[in-house]
Structure 1
């Protein structure tokens, strides 16, 4: 049976000749529809009458989200560019188009690329109510000099609702890693209420992550563009601020966020992402629709991170929320294995030795023991928040800062300073 193909290369002078050659010769390809724009192509893909799409880089409103929707519909994508236009080819690859050919390629070669692309695309029919359908398909790496070098690590700082201190931990880890000489990027990806900009005293109206995701969706994001969108807070520390208002969450599409993280791996040795708490499904949105999911950005970060830190409070209510959040995460992303971090550890909320009691409780109900215990130090965190500075600047002798420094060294793969290890030992004895 002939391969059924959509085309969307309107405006190109070679379109008619190419379509005629594919249909006329025995290439095993049949053009079932010539689409006029990206909306027409997406509508045609939803009918299930085609297996592949042939599109040009100049197609208006073509972005990464459109490519992801085509793949979700079971339609493989092959791109065509003007001969010698390497910039257009790179843009298509950033959007997730693996097969890119010059427009003057032999029709048999184009037909073969279409067949290869179809062989690599899963069949349609996923459950539209499955929240994982909101996650993008990872784009193939673009062969550049930078991509062949060492890639940085991404650490997602996540946790249940109830202010367990995700932002405090994320900011502290990024700052301490930078002070250890590790080039670090801090990203605010909290779609419910990101406050990294306010915590650090930065202007929260800057484009930040939303601007980077928008450029990624258009295939124009590169290292220079990402660096220009991030604040240079101090040597080795850049900050990509989050959404100024929570109602702007549709700007953070999973495909765009994933592309930003991939570019961040080239820009920084360590990327720390402050995530929102939600990973549950929205039943009203997910009912028979392809509407954007508010938690899609969070899931994209958690799935593509090298390490996921689950930050829990140290009181009974926070521990219960943590156990339930981990159950939800296991249902949605079973392959993700979070590392537990207990924040705000202090005497009082639990009887006996708080470190031992909290660790035993989490091990009993989650099957994993915390890697790090961060002491409660309200005086230090209040002092830092009051002046829009980090703990290292506002309260350098804080025991909380010492533990964050030791954890940052572990995550970055660098030795912890001797002073930090002694301070951490004193903190453990005190708790």
Structure 2
């Protein structure tokens, strides 16, 4: 059966000739509709009449969100650019188009690329590297500074947990700060769509562009590593911070596909990216709409799916543990492939009888099957002092037991040796 294909161009000179060549029976491809307007293309994509689309780089109003909607509708995307137009090819790749070919590629090569796009993940075809293009972007620790590039693709750690303030932001900020103090180039990213407060915790201006500006550039296909570096605050030589939304009602500005692109660029900027996530992973928005709708929780699920490590932060009292058990069960239903690492925060004697580490560890293993990877002791005095000063725990209480536990956990996540305990002064 012939592959049914859409074309969406701006009336390029080569378009008519290409359509005629593709319609030949020996290529196994038939062009069912030709579009010059993006809105019409997106409407047709939802009807199931086309399996793939040939996109021109000059298509008006084309952005990353449109490419994501095409892919979500089951339409594979192949980009075409004028021969030698590297800028247009790079833009399509930044928008999420995995296969980009010059327009002078013969019909057989284009038909093969279309079939490969429908069949599965991107691969090399027609002599061009059409794998994930973001892996080839320059990796810069600071804008235009090749000496500061990470030696390999950076890691992403998502800090997530149930509702009820178990201390996700405290853990995320502490891990990022301690990793930076261990000499690891780190980016702290606030992706909480319900109430991100990383900027306030660190005493930064919450009106800075931050993740919203990065997402806009990602949607437009203009975000790269140097631009991401310029949007992030340089808190210390090894720590950058990309602040979150100033108001929770601005969540529609963060589309899941755009945030995914931000994470990919972050891997090239620093060796470690720590993401402060929202608590909710429900997919209830889709139940209320017959067409593609904004997904508030899609940002969180995107981060959890793309992260190399997911830390589930739990409180240490019975109510917090019950919430953690329910949240882990829901996470398995929504994202069955994600296996989080549980970290119990605010550990103290009193709420749990007996040995709290033993009792909490046994309870979580029994009801969730998860093993507790670490316990973080409660230090209300240290965290209150840090919050009041807008500084990190290491700056105001360097011998805090919570700070020492966070440092050990950060060393483990970053893959560097854990430092010894600091000596006491006489």
TM-score, structure 1 normalization = 0.89
Alpha-carbon spacing, 1:414–1:149, altered in 2? closer, same or farther (3 Å): closer
Query: Which residue of structure 2 lines up, in the alignment, with residue 175 of structure 1?
Result: 177
Query: Which residue of structure 2 lines up, in the alignment, with residue 231 of structure 1?
Result: 233
Matches for 1:6-405 after TM superposition, within 5 Å = 6-23=6-23, 26-120=26-120, 140-142=132-134, 144=136, 146=138, 150-282=152-284, 285-286=287-288, 288-405=290-407
Given that 2:6 and 2:31 are in contact with CA atoms closer than 8 Å, whether structure 1 keeps it comes out as yes
Partners of 1:340 and 1:28 lie apart in 2 by 51
Partners of 2:219 and 2:285 lie apart in 1 by 26
Shift of 1:13: 3.0
Partners of 1:284 and 1:120 lie apart in 2 by 25
Partners of 1:25 and 1:284 lie apart in 2 by 40
- 54-63 or 173-182: which moved more? 54-63
Alpha-carbon spacing, 1:286–1:307, altered in 2? closer, same or farther (3 Å): farther
What is the SS of the residue equivalent to 1:383?
Answer: helix
Partners of 2:375 and 2:27 lie apart in 1 by 64
Partners of 1:334 and 1:377 lie apart in 2 by 34
Partners of 1:157 and 1:13 lie apart in 2 by 51
Partners of 2:202 and 2:285 lie apart in 1 by 36
Given that 1:232 and 1:239 are in contact with CA atoms closer than 8 Å, whether structure 2 keeps it comes out as yes
Partners of 1:192 and 1:143 lie apart in 2 by 31
What is the SS of the residue equivalent to 1:187?
Answer: strand
Shift of 1:149: 5.6
Shift of 1:286: 4.9
Given that 1:74 and 1:121 are in contact with CA atoms closer than 8 Å, whether structure 2 keeps it comes out as no
1:87-143 per-position Cα deviation (integer Å, ceiling 9, x unaligned)? 211221222222211112222322222222222289xxxxxxxxxxxxxxxx82446
Unaligned runs of 5+ in 2: 123-130, 140-149
Unaligned runs of 5+ in 1: 123-138, 424-431
Given that 2:78 and 2:99 are in contact with CA atoms closer than 8 Å, whether structure 1 keeps it comes out as yes
- 106-115 or 213-222: which moved more? 106-115
Shift of 1:353: 2.1
1:240-271 per-position Cα deviation (integer Å, ceiling 9, x unaligned)? 11111111111111111111111111111111
| Cα RMSD (Å) | 2.1
What is the SS of the residue equivalent to 2:112?
Answer: helix
Shift of 1:201: 0.7
Shift of 1:306: 0.7
Partners of 2:118 and 2:104 lie apart in 1 by 21
- 143-152 or 166-175: which moved more? 143-152
Shift of 1:145: 6.5
**How many residue pairs get matched?**
406
Given that 2:277 and 2:300 are in contact with CA atoms closer than 8 Å, whether structure 1 keeps it comes out as yes
Given that 1:204 and 1:244 are in contact with CA atoms closer than 8 Å, whether structure 2 keeps it comes out as yes
Alpha-carbon spacing, 1:283–1:46, altered in 2? closer, same or farther (3 Å): closer
Shift of 1:74: 1.9
- 189-198 or 340-349: which moved more? 340-349
Partners of 1:175 and 1:235 lie apart in 2 by 11
Partners of 2:408 and 2:30 lie apart in 1 by 61
Partners of 2:284 and 2:16 lie apart in 1 by 44
- 334-343 or 184-193: which moved more? 334-343
Given that 1:340 and 1:369 are in contact with CA atoms closer than 8 Å, whether structure 2 keeps it comes out as yes
Given that 1:285 and 1:291 are in contact with CA atoms closer than 8 Å, whether structure 2 keeps it comes out as no
What is the SS of the residue equivalent to 1:112?
Answer: helix
TM-score, structure 2 normalization = 0.90
